[in-house]
Chains A and B, each alone.
Chain A
């Protein structure tokens, strides 16, 4: 079984709808991250969490919110989806600080019509 899972894997929705993307991990890591990937722009950090009580904004947090329900679960919400939020979304985990690599989930492809 995969260490980092994301649901759903693909989602098509309409402008204005609320969407939640879920991430679960079995690696026992404290740190979890949400990124979005747009063609030609690499991975951009949306939110990150160092433990259940610690949530931090990344470089592109506007229009998104997150919830860390447990050490193993980190959800990303789009309160009112807009077309420019169409992207590939990745969840990642890491054990400790910047010396530990990130382990990525399989990605969620979100299309907002």
Chain B
């Protein structure tokens, strides 16, 4: 069983703050990494698929970077809004068959 760690477990920020969190994974074998956004009472939805060391992806105010050599990915949210409140999950894929999810970072943005 692979260990995928996300930190922090939870985060409380004020509207307008920028924030970031981390997904750490074993660096020995890498195929892809996904980021998902999971709102309460809904299903997880994909944000980014990252495959190459140094990848940077952006969608609106949310961006992500990837370092496969050291085994981490950062997710950044610029100017957080209350609608950004959700749990952000990363999924590490060491080969093309299995997904290993972290436990998520729960973000709460206060108006």
Contact = CB atoms under 8 A, between A and B. Distances in A.
A and B assemble together: yes
Interface residues of B, number: 28
Contacts of A33: 99
Contact of B103 (A42, A56, A59, A90): A42
A40 B99 contact: no
Nearest to B45: A104
A101 B43 contact: no
Interface stretch (A10-18, A43-51, A74-82): A43-51
- Classify the secondary structure of B's interface with A: loop
A97 B46 CA distance: 15
Interface in A87-113: 90, 97-107
Given A42-B89, A42-B103, A97 B43 contact: no
Contact of B43 (A48, A99, A106): A106
Given A98-B32, A98-B93, A99-B32, A45 B99 contact: yes
Interface in B78-101: 89, 91, 93, 95-101
B98 A48 contact: yes
A67 B49 CA distance: 29
A104 B44 contact: yes
A97 B96 contact: yes
A48 B100 CA distance: 13
Given A59-B1, A99-B49, A101-B34, A42 B102 contact: yes
Interface of A: 4, 33, 35, 40-45, 48, 56, 58-59, 90, 97-107
Closest 3 pairs (CB-CB, A-B): A101-B46, A98-B93, A97-B96
9 contacts: A42-B6, A42-B104, A43-B44, A43-B89, A98-B31, A98-B99, A99-B51, A105-B43, A107-B43
